[in-house]
Amino acid sequence: MSNKKDRINPLDVAMRQVDIAAERLKLDLGVREKIKQTKRELIVHFPVKMDDGSVKIFTGYRVQHNMTRGPGKGGIRYHPDVDLDEVKALAMWMTWKAAVVNIPFGGAKGGVQCDPKSMSLWELENMTRRFTWEIAFLIGPDQDIPAPDVYTNPQVMAWIMDTYSILKGYTVHGVVTGKPLELGGSLGRFEATGKGVFITAQEATRHLNIPIEGARVVVQGCGNVGGIAAQYFDRAGAKVIAISDSRGGIYNKNGLNVSAVLDCKKRYSCLITPEARAGVEITNEELLELGCDILIPAALENQITHKNAPKIKTKIIAEGANGPTTPEADEILYDRGIFVVPDILANAGGVTVSYFEWAQNLQELLWSEEEISDRLTRIMRKSFAEVLNISQRDKVDMRTAALMLGIGRVAEATKLRGIYP
């Protein structure tokens, strides 16, 4: 668990980002203040019966930031450090992310303060179902659609869908996305975020004339985002030289056997075994400073700061995590000529395919994996081109350009809808 005293408040970062983009866009002060504020914030404290018979009180959050462009959309995370400011920041970033890829969602986010690694499957199910009961009046296919996030997965979404459906009296597939296929999930959803990171990083290599084949890739995080992205880079002929989890990483300058490393993680909850090809154990801090062509921070927020940004030795950063780079670090990276594909663009593949899943549920359709892959690729490439165009036109970094695109679309929708009464 991280030391909260040393943590950078992600909400402060998110607010600063809005101010920077709003100045560039010359937004009206009233519109600026409206889009910075959350629409709703719910904090719940609820009891859960544990395996030993004791009752433990958990704290959970659901925040709806802005729903001007559509129902709220955003994941639910289980983590010891979850707090209200973090959830508010993540909900805000979801608003801009959905707008950047131009899908009809607003931004929302949720979380429960817990240590899922120390809990049994039974305890996780009990906690999930009770949390769902607490927030059920806020969520729904036309109101707010949760999805997996840090330490949540399709099984957790299945429990949420089932609990919500019991409360409604009928099955409601569209209340969550990222569900198992057997319960109305979408083909291509599991790998969507990692694939989106790969697509946008690949677009960056094309822009910078860097061959993807043989490119050295470093990945922080080996979950649904980092692990999937690593596999896509490996298949494309890139050389994944380092990868990590929350406890540390493994490095081999000649390239890792990605499949073996990820299989090791899946089977043994560790990255290093004899069959996973020889590698040197390194810390996450050391991993971020390795010499490479593409760096993928796909863990948690605030990993690249003013302290380590001068030591980053890469050509491209594609942000698989939400908020991994602080504003101070952004300035340093931009001045050093490092091309950053920001989170609200790079990891938008997840919310894009979540939109596909939601649309299929509402229409009772099932799209093929090929159709979903083609649609995702087109949207990610188009969004990258739009952000790059703003970056070059206004001579700003890619994050500012992405924020200008997303915030601009939300601001325009706000003006069109007006204020009632």
pLDDT along the chain (421 residues), means of 10: 63 92 94 95 98 98 98 97 96 97 98 97 98 98 95 96 98 97 95 96 98 97 92 97 91 91 80 64 94 95 93 98 92 97 97 97 95 97 98 96 98 92 75
The ranges assigned to domains in the chain are 4-171, 192-341
And the tokens for 268?
Answer: 């043994």
Give the C-alpha separation, 418 to 421, whole Å: 9
**CATH number for domain 192-341, candidates 3.40.50.720, 3.40.50.300, 1.10.730.10, 3.40.50.450:** 3.40.50.720
Give the C-alpha separation, 304 to 399, whole Å: 14
What is the reported pLDDT for 184? 96
| Axis-axis angle for helices 398-417, 29-36 (nearest 10) | 100
Burial class (CB in 10 A: 0-12, 13-18, 19+), 384: buried
The question of whether 266 is a catalytic residue gets the answer: no
Give the C-alpha separation, 297 to 325, whole Å: 9
| Axis-axis angle for helices 121-135, 154-168 (nearest 10) | 50
What is the reported pLDDT for 7? 72
**DSSP SS3 for 352:** helix
Give the dihedral sign, CA 95/193/344/10.
positive
pTM of the model: 0.93
And the tokens for 316?
Answer: 């491209």
DSSP state of 298: -
In contact, 60 and 43? CB cutoff 8 Å? yes
Give the C-alpha separation, 368 to 372, whole Å: 6
**Count of beta carbons in the 10 Å neighbourhood of residue 31:** 17
Catalytic residue among 39, 73, 88, 109: 109
Alpha carbon 9 to its chain's center: 17
What is the reported pLDDT for 6? 61
Q: Do domains 4-171 and 192-341 have the same CATH topology?
A: yes
Fold of 4-171: Rossmann fold (3.40.50)
What is the reported pLDDT for 204? 98
What is the reported pLDDT for 203? 98
The total number of residues shown for the chain amounts to: 421
And the tokens for 100?
Answer: 């950047």
